[in-house]
Structure 1
Amino acid sequence: MKRRDALRSLALLTGGLVLVPSCDFSKEDILSAYQKLQITPSLSELLAQIADTIIPSGKIKGAKDLSVQDFILVMVNDCVDEEGQKSFMAGIKGFEAFSESSAGKAFSKLEVSQRESLLQTGLALEDEKQKHIKDFLSMAKRFTVQGFMLSEYIQTEVKPYSLIPGEYKDVLIADLKPERIHG
């Protein structure tokens, strides 16, 4: 009886070992929240670094601290047309190669000033072959600023939102001084 159990276990183990080489563990998982985009965690981290270069942290939180990269990805996934999404994906996938060719290093290994100049170079590209880099960076910049300004942190702590246009001040018309427009 024990021999049968041992043979069954050995057969299962051998079958499992045969299947292991066919499994590809090198691929990164694709984030399922963005159905129309093929975003991996490393691409999301790259986008966070780009957003943090655009709006760095200082006296107030930066774009990476507020997870603006998630806002960017949601906006591109939900609000940008299919052609724009393809251009965005081509740009984000080709950005590391652009960084290596322009600055000589991966974007994550660059100093802050080098990152800023690389982004400015990318936004000023006129080459038709690298148009997707320029399109990607302009979308990333626009949505970074929008996501940062609309974040809960900015709207509540830095620049509190006021539902009405301003305070009501009781002022008599007689107390107002006339403005001298022509003199």
Structure 2
Amino acid sequence: MNRREAVQRVALLMGGVLSAPLMAGVMGQIINTGDSVSVSIEQETLLAEVADIIIPTTDTPGAKAAGAEKFIVRVMRDCYKKEDQDKFYTGLAKLDADSKTKFGKGFIELDIVQKNEMVKLNTVNDKPFFMRMKELTVTGYFTSEIGATKALEYLPIPGKFQGCVPLKPGQKAWAL
């Protein structure tokens, strides 16, 4: 099984299909040869904070520790059209602006309860942005070294193929 097939199977297990640009990004391809949005350090930091609310640190490292924001920036730049990038980063800016309106400070400065509240509001108020953010975060996390080795079971050199193996109670799903 190659990496593309493995990612497709993970996507199906997660309940959906990865978008074509995201699949190209996972494969390291560059399909956007046109203009791209220039991402600032502040935007990248904001992406890291939002991603860390989607996949927080628990007994395993979260999305921020896995560097999901770097994956998001690269895939958006290399694989999505400029119009899609503009919509995505406008949604990110709107989340920060809504935080300032509701709490008087930007998303990064909010406490964890306020960040969770803003993300929950965002799932309703700007669903297209949130769905793209979630898709990019989850894919970036589970294709990172941390996601594949800390959050999932991982065998660097697999043994024989066993098509159906029951999981023990509390055992993690296997990385592909």
Scaled by the length of structure 2, what TM-score is found?
Answer: 0.63
Match in the other structure for 2:107:
107
Match in the other structure for 2:37:
37
Pairing partner for 2:153 from 140, 151, 159: 159
**1:154·1:160 contact (CA, 8 Å) conserved in 2?**
no
**What is the RMSD computed on CA atoms of the aligned residues?**
2.5
Distance 2:60 2:122 in 1: 27
What is the SS of the residue equivalent to 2:65? coil
Which structure's relative contact order is higher, taking Cα pairs within 8 Å and 6+ residues apart?
2
* Code of the aligned partner of 2:96: E
Match in the other structure for 1:79:
79
Deviation at 1:156, TM superposition (A): 3.1
Which segment is superposed worse, 53-62 or 135-144? 135-144
1:89 to 1:163, Cα distance in 2 relative to 1, 3 A = same
Match in the other structure for 1:91:
91
Larger radius of gyration, structure 1 or 2? 1
**1:91·1:134 contact (CA, 8 Å) conserved in 2?**
no
Deviation at 1:167, TM superposition (A): 3.5
Q: Which structure 1 residue ranges, 5 or more long, are not aligned?
A: 1-34, 126-132, 170-183
Q: Which structure 2 residue ranges, 5 or more long, are not aligned?
A: 1-34, 165-176
Distance 1:48 1:165 in 2: 38
Scaled by the length of structure 1, what TM-score is found?
Answer: 0.61
Deviation at 1:78, TM superposition (A): 1.7
